[in-house]
Amino acid sequence: MNAEDLKNLQSPLKEKYRNEPGTALITLKAQGNISEGISCNVETGKALVQAGLHPATGGTGMLACSGDMLLQALVACAGVTLNAVATAIGIEIKDGTVQAEGDLDFRGTLGVSKEAPVGFTRIRLSFNLDTDADEEKLQKLLQLTERYCVVYQTIKAGTSIETGLLPGNKK
């Protein structure tokens, strides 16, 4: 896909969203089934992923870790966003990788220490790109990728989350 193809693909959507802002508000959904052995089967639309405990919390390492899945979602979103932005601004990416690393203190999630945080304390997102673009263009690419990556912005800015029980819970 080139910049013109991308523009032709997105222009009608952008125009629609400008004229009818309500049509741009979409609710994405995810669902999982709680399974035996402290696991949860998550439907991804393409496959079923069985998530379980990380080995640092007693898991076997045979099931997907939700912390890894969060980093994988960040890598996927950042990679797609970077590729789209590069295409839109005319930067040719010959090849590249996206990497995310996150630091966790498992004392928090296991309740060993109330002072230890639950969740990632630091995430590092990096790109290794094979491109002829100069440093100025690469910095613009990085800036726009950060700006438009949904997962990056959600993690960075945080968002309100509501929890609750659905009607009809079994007792």
| Residue 54, token pair as written in the block | 């990380």
pTM beyond 0.75, yes or no: yes
| DSSP secondary structure code for residue 165 in this structure | P
| Residue 106, token pair as written in the block | 């498992």
- Whether 145 shows a pLDDT value over 70: the answer reads yes
Burial of 151 per CB tally in 10 Å (0-12, 13-18, 19+): buried
* For residues 17-42, average pLDDT: 82
So what's the pLDDT on residue 171? 59
| Residue 47, token pair as written in the block | 């496959």
Per-residue pLDDT tens over the stretch 58-116 = 989 899 999 999 999 999 999 999 999 999 999 999 999 999 999 999 999 999 999 99
Q: Which residues have C-beta within 8 Å of that of residue 12, sequence separation ≥ 6?
A: none
* For residues 33-62, average pLDDT: 85
Q: Cα separation of 9 and 147, whole Å? A: 20
So what's the pLDDT on residue 93? 92
Going 30 to 51 to 79 to 2, the CA torsion angle's sign is negative
Burial 75-114 (b: 16+ CB within 10 A, else e): bebbbebbbbbbbbeebebeeeebebebebbeebbeeeee
So what's the pLDDT on residue 95? 92
Alpha-helical runs (H) found in the chain: 3-19, 66-89, 106-109, 135-148, 150-157
Q: Cα separation of 50 and 59, whole Å? A: 12
**Hey, what domains does the chain have and what are their CATH numbers?**
3-157 (3.30.300.20)
Q: Cα separation of 7 and 30, whole Å? A: 29
So what's the pLDDT on residue 167? 86
Of residues 85 and 29, the one with the higher pLDDT is 85
Band of residue 166 on the pLDDT scale cut at 50, 70, 90: confident
